[in-house]
């Protein structure tokens, strides 16, 4: 069975956990406990093939033994790089992350690399306080050779599932799945994912 490793990256509070939880549980839950980075696992069937999906959710807070962004990029097959459309600084961070992915991929001769980086503008429901125009996201994605999505983990279940499904599909093509790489850190089961919910104290939007 093949493993697909996806990293969901982006600056603090952009909604990385929210997107992952939406995809894995169908639910949007306002607050998440994530004091440590983690990997969630899901078994999927794609085009009749059984796949083990590993989804890496970094924790933005500094913690001892935390993997570096470079470790995370080396580990993953595909990347969902998230920014918050109501926070321009998160857009600038997302751009830097995609640049780093491209830089580290240069030596790696990864095939199909263009299809394995998605730029995602999250929190589309906050368009009344938007700081990043959709066209800017589209332009950046074109410049960086990424696929672009603008959506809302809070309001768009189908879009979130479609986005992750497309990434899984892309990563499953062409023998992209790597076998043994160092895991960025610990892993978590679905039970732990559920346990994380409600634990984190954070300002709601
Ligand atoms: N309005 C709105 N709020 C969202 C959306 N997605 C996430 N949030 C909120 O944004 C805050 C941060 O969400 P998280 O999923 O914890 O963000 P994160 O990127 O995992 O944050 P770190 O783990 O600190 O890096 C929470 O209060 C969420 O409820 C969205 O689509 N719309």
Ligand 1: atom nearest CA of 126 is 1
Sign of dihedral through CA atoms 15, 37, 112, 3? negative
Q: Are 11 and 69 in contact (CB under 8 A)?
A: no
Q: What is the CATH number of the domain that holds 47?
A: 3.40.50.300
Q: How many domains does the structure of the chain reveal?
A: 1
On whether residue 84 sits in a domain, the answer given is: yes
pLDDT at 195: 46
pLDDT at 2: 78
Which class for 184: exposed (0-12), middle (13-18), buried (19 or more C-beta within 10 A)? buried
Closest to 23 measured CA to CA, from 60, 58, 55, 59:
55
What backbone phi and psi angles, to 5 degrees, belong to 3? -105, 140
Cβ 86 under 6 angstroms from ligand 1: no
The residue assigned the tokens 């321009």 is 88
The radius of gyration of the chain from alpha carbons, rounded to an integer in Å, stands at 16
The predicted-structure confidence for 131-165, as pLDDT tens digits, reads as follows 999 999 999 999 999 999 999 999 999 999 999 99
The HSE-up count of residue 134 (CA atoms within 13 Å, CB side) is 9
Q: Are strands 117-122 and 2-10 parallel, antiparallel or unpaired?
A: unpaired
Distance of CA 39 to the CA centre of its chain: 11
On whether residue 201 sits in a domain, the answer given is: no
pLDDT at 112: 55
Tokens of 192: 């732990």
Cβ 156 under 6 angstroms from ligand 1: no
Ligand 1: atom nearest CA of 21 is 15
On whether residue 13 sits in a domain, the answer given is: yes
Cβ 45 under 6 angstroms from ligand 1: no
Closest to 113 measured CA to CA, from 75, 67, 146:
146
Q: Are 154 and 123 in contact (CB under 8 A)?
A: yes
Q: Are 116 and 174 in contact (CB under 8 A)?
A: no
Ligand 1: atom nearest CA of 200 is 16
Which secondary-structure segment (H or E) carries 13? none
On whether residue 39 sits in a domain, the answer given is: yes
**Does the structure show a pLDDT above 60 at 65?**
yes
Q: How far is the CA of 90 from the centre of ligand 1 (A)?
A: 12
Q: How far is the CA of 105 from the centre of ligand 1 (A)?
A: 28
Which secondary-structure segment (H or E) carries 76? none
The predicted-structure confidence for 86-97, as pLDDT tens digits, reads as follows 999 999 999 999
Cβ 126 under 6 angstroms from ligand 1: yes
Cβ 27 under 6 angstroms from ligand 1: no
Q: How far is the CA of 107 from the centre of ligand 1 (A)?
A: 34
On whether residue 202 sits in a domain, the answer given is: no
Choose the residue to mutate in 16, 18, 81 for probing ligand 1, maximizing ligand atoms within 8 Å of C-beta.
18
Cβ 152 under 6 angstroms from ligand 1: yes
Cβ 36 under 6 angstroms from ligand 1: no
Q: Give the lowest-confidence range in 15-29, 32-46, 86-100, 122-136.
A: 32-46
On whether residue 140 sits in a domain, the answer given is: yes
The residue assigned the tokens 């969902």 is 80
On whether residue 29 sits in a domain, the answer given is: yes
Q: Are 17 and 59 in contact (CB under 8 A)?
A: no
Q: Which domain holds residue 183?
A: 3-195
Q: Residues 6 or more apart from 173 whose CB is under 8 A from it?
A: 112, 115
């Amino acid at each position: 069975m093949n493993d697909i490793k996806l990293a969901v990256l982006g600056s603090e509070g952009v909604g990385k956990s929210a997107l992952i939880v939406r995809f894995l549980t169908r639910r949007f839950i306002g607050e998440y406990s994530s004091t440590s980075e983690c990997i969630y696992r899901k078994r999927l069937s794609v085009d009749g093939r059984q796949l083990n999906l590993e989804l890496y959710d970094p924790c933005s807070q500094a913690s001892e033994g935390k993997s570096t962004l470079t470790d995370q990029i080396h580990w993953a097959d595909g990347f969902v790089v998230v920014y918050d459309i109501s926070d321009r600084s998160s857009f600038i961070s997302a751009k830097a992350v995609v640049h780093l992915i491209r830089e580290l991929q240069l030596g790696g001769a990864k095939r199909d690399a263009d299809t394995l980086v998605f730029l995602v503008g999250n929190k589309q429901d906050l368009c009344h306080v938007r700081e990043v125009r959709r066209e800017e996201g589209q332009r950046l994605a074109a410049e960086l050779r990424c696929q672009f999505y603008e959506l809302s983990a809070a309001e768009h279940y189908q879009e979130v599932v479609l986005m992750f499904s497309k990434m899984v599909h892309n990563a499953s093509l062409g023998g992209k799945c790597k076998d043994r790489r160092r895991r960025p850190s610990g892993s978590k089961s679905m039970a732990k994912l559920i346990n994380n919910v409600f634990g984190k104290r954070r300002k709601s939007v």
